[in-house]
Amino acid sequence: MSVLKHSFAVVIAGLYLPASHANSLIIDGKLDEHVWQTAHNIESFFQVVPATHAMSNDKLSAKIFADTAGIYIGITNYQIEGRRKKQFNLQDGFMQAEFNRIYLDFSGDGSSAYLFATTLGGGKQDAVVTAQRSTDHDWDGDWQSAYYESQTYWSNEVFIPWHSVSFSPKLNAAGLASIGVGIQLYELHSNHIFANQKQTIANSDFFLNMPKVDIAIPAQSQLSFVPYVTHQHHFTERQNKRRESDVGFDLFYKPAHNQTLSIAVNPDFAQVDSDDVDVNYSAVETLRTDKRPFFTQDISVFNIDVLQDTKLIHTRRIGAGSDDGSELITPIDGAVRFVHQGTHNQWGGFAVHENSLKNEAGKQFYAGRYSYRSANWRTGLLAAHVDRPWFNRQAHSLAWDSQFQNEKWSMQSAFLVSQIDEVQRKTGNGASFNLGYQFSANTRASGKYLRLNKQFNSRDMGYMKRNDWQYMSLNLSHATNINNDWLTRIRHTFELSYEANTQGLKLSSKQGYQSELMMNNGAQWTVRIDYRDTGWQDNIGAQSEPFMLPSALETRVLYQSAYNGSFSWAASIEFDQEGLSGHAQQYALDMTWMPHENWNIKFNNFYRIGDGWLVANKQNQITEYDRRYFVNSIEISALLADNLELSANVQWSVLEAASKDVFQITEQNLVRLNELDTSFVDKGLMSQFKLRYRLGAYSDIYLVYRRGGRDIASLQRMQVGDQPWLEGIEENWTQPDEDSVIFKVRYLF
């Protein structure tokens, strides 16, 4: 099939590219073709972690050149055998091997960039880097890489086709485009990073000082068609269904590098990977990621940097459960998006129409974005609209955001407005400010402010932790570089914060100090102390009255071993004051065993025990629990053969909550309720076993088996803890809520 795909690609390329495309390199990692001798060379690299900025010419070198097909980057890493670690990781998985990072700012103006990382061992990561220097790993690109080993060095060869990204090339008088290129080597045995620029993504002047390369970029158009087919068989009925089949496609057309038209019919929900078991009894929703190609492409155009994960567009809302509760995943009849990225002006919009089902329980989503950018300044508008006929509800939101950055200062601001038309019209507003100052590469400070009034609501398409909220914080970070036999860097971080609701009621807030010690052998120690001051709790349950929380002290120590070798581990211990008068202890142990360069087995264990866990049972009623909570997961990833990957994940959790005291919130006071018992046990299991055969970018064959379930039972306090944990998890396995096999094929034409 790969031969057929290659032949088809050659035919398509012939429609758009000159004949010289036939002379493109073979991506094998060797860098031995003659064309590399004429490539642009990068010889000078600096140590950026720790940020000594010492020049190093013996760690790595790089070469760059381009043709009509795309840009090629070759990196030679001068690490001898015995001083380097080789290991495979799944796409976007944790890289526990030597690896190179490549940042490419195709527009050369800092409006956005793309990250491409590849390991010694074949692991890959890719991501979109926004103008605010935030990184989104949901995006998956069409690019190739390969590595090669010798006794004295190893090399990476990377090819990124022009059509795989969207950008507006800035041409000079000679017709060449200036592209920002950042190249890094992560040295595993020491945790040191070397780069061709003195800035990392954490520095405000990262884009401003990114080295530039002038490259001829041909005018091109590109048409991509990605159909998919899925079939699921449920051994345990799921919403009265035994079998489900689905067909859909994504169509991407790029008339130019800076324009993309995307059309989708029943786009792939892309959830062959199960979400983790979510044991969340707070009023704050768990934030999920999204891997659907339609929503991850050109994501930086619609990005607005608002504090505390506040979003006007959270794409997991689209195609999620229907408003009447009849569907866990609502089919999407159609979706369209267009994006234009000009020299200064950038704009785009999308519309998505869910299936209306039998009773208009589907939704319609619309969004539009415009921004203007100069050398150091960017400002724009984002508007979103959601129509929900089942609730007779319409939601509108609008944001005006701005960004400024120079060598020392960085600033992001956003002003937000929401309007909900339902039985009554509710209009809300908010504002977000983030101001940072970089004293040096090792010292920086920031101040943050977020205010969302009580009527603000972006949850129809967006995400927010809460409204009726004022949040302020000051942060100071300073690192001291130390060059001795056992310690290389100490970094101190101080954080002060203040929280209140918009009526001025002071909430409990955190003041913290953290010290990070980077050891010369690659290990790390982290010590953190947090003080939560006395304040009101007004967000424990829906529409509950506030009550006073006492001050609390939290301490945590974390140790991370060096990543080199076939075994690594990390352990943490935490002692907290919690609730009204309780105490808690928390332990975590993560172990990674790599019996072979293509195999990775992770054991993660988390345990928390305490007697002050507060949970809202209903409006104006809370319980303080004696609580034991344990989560265990085993993850296995392997490269079984060329392009054939295996991943397995088994995660189980047990929460035992024995009712200690039950309180009624009355006029902002807590009144103990006698003879009430709200004890319960929550047991969950999620397991997934997946085979993935890679045919190429956006082209895969999946075979997935999933099994698991969740059991929440109300018990008497004396019964909590009676059942052995493994016996309870066995019931989740033998009496599953989900027991299904999924077969899926998608293919890029």
Encode pLDDT of 381-409 as tens digits: 999 999 999 999 999 999 999 999 888 99
- pLDDT confidence of residue 275: 75
Q: How many domains does the chain have?
A: 1
Q: In the structure, what pLDDT confidence band is assigned to residue 290 with cuts at 50, 70 and 90?
A: confident
Average pLDDT for residues 600-604, to the nearest whole number?
Answer: 97
pLDDT higher than threshold 80 for residue 24 = no
Q: What is the pLDDT of residues 307-333, one digit of tens each?
A: 999 999 999 999 999 999 888 889 899
174 occurs within a structural domain: yes
131 occurs within a structural domain: yes
Query: Phi, psi at residue 31, to the nearest 5°?
Result: 55, 40
Single-letter residue type at 194: F
Asked if residues 435 and 405 have their Cβ atoms less than 8 Å apart, the reply is no
Asked if residues 649 and 635 have their Cβ atoms less than 8 Å apart, the reply is yes
pLDDT higher than threshold 80 for residue 287 = yes
Query: Which residue spans within 579-698 are E strands per DSSP?
Result: 582-596, 599-618, 621-641, 644-666, 669-673, 680-696
- pLDDT confidence of residue 12: 33
Domain with residue 207: its CATH number is 2.60.40.1190
The 3-state DSSP class for residue 305 equals coil
Q: What is the dihedral of CA 262, 264, 267, 270, to 10 degrees?
A: -20
pLDDT higher than threshold 60 for residue 3 = no
119 occurs within a structural domain: yes
- pLDDT confidence of residue 271: 52
Q: What is the pLDDT of residues 110-125, one digit of tens each?
A: 888 999 999 999 999 9
Q: What is the pLDDT of residues 485-538, one digit of tens each?
A: 899 999 999 999 999 999 999 999 999 999 999 999 999 999 999 999 999 999
- pLDDT confidence of residue 375: 82
ω into 546 cis (within 30 of 0): no
Asked if residues 91 and 140 have their Cβ atoms less than 8 Å apart, the reply is yes
Structure tokens at 624: 């303080």
208 occurs within a structural domain: yes
Tokens 């009255």 appear where?
545
530 occurs within a structural domain: no
pLDDT higher than threshold 70 for residue 649 = yes
Helix (H) or strand (E) segment spanning residue 238: strand 222-238
Q: In the structure, what pLDDT confidence band is assigned to residue 293 with cuts at 50, 70 and 90?
A: confident
Q: What share of the chain in percent tops pLDDT 90? A: 77
Q: In the structure, what pLDDT confidence band is assigned to residue 269 with cuts at 50, 70 and 90?
A: low
Asked if residues 696 and 2 have their Cβ atoms less than 8 Å apart, the reply is yes
pLDDT higher than threshold 80 for residue 23 = no
Range scoring the smallest mean pLDDT among 235-239, 360-364, 435-439, 578-582: 235-239
Burial of 237 (0-12, 13-18, 19+ CB in 10 A): exposed
Under 8 Å CB-to-CB from 244, ≥6 apart: which residues? 230, 231, 232, 234
- pLDDT confidence of residue 11: 32
The 3-state DSSP class for residue 422 equals coil
- What whole-number distance in Å separates Cα of residue 644 and Cα of residue 280? 35
- pLDDT confidence of residue 272: 63
Range scoring the smallest mean pLDDT among 28-42, 255-269, 499-513: 255-269
- What whole-number distance in Å separates Cα of residue 72 and Cα of residue 17? 17
Structure tokens at 198: 């003195």
Distance, first Cα to last Cα, the chain: 12
Range scoring the smallest mean pLDDT among 173-177, 472-476, 549-553: 173-177
**What's the full length of the chain, in residues?**
749
- pLDDT confidence of residue 1: 40
- pLDDT confidence of residue 518: 96
- pLDDT confidence of residue 111: 83
- pLDDT confidence of residue 18: 32
**195: containing domain:** 34-215
- pLDDT confidence of residue 297: 83
113 occurs within a structural domain: yes
Q: What is the pLDDT of residues 46-57, one digit of tens each?
A: 999 999 999 988
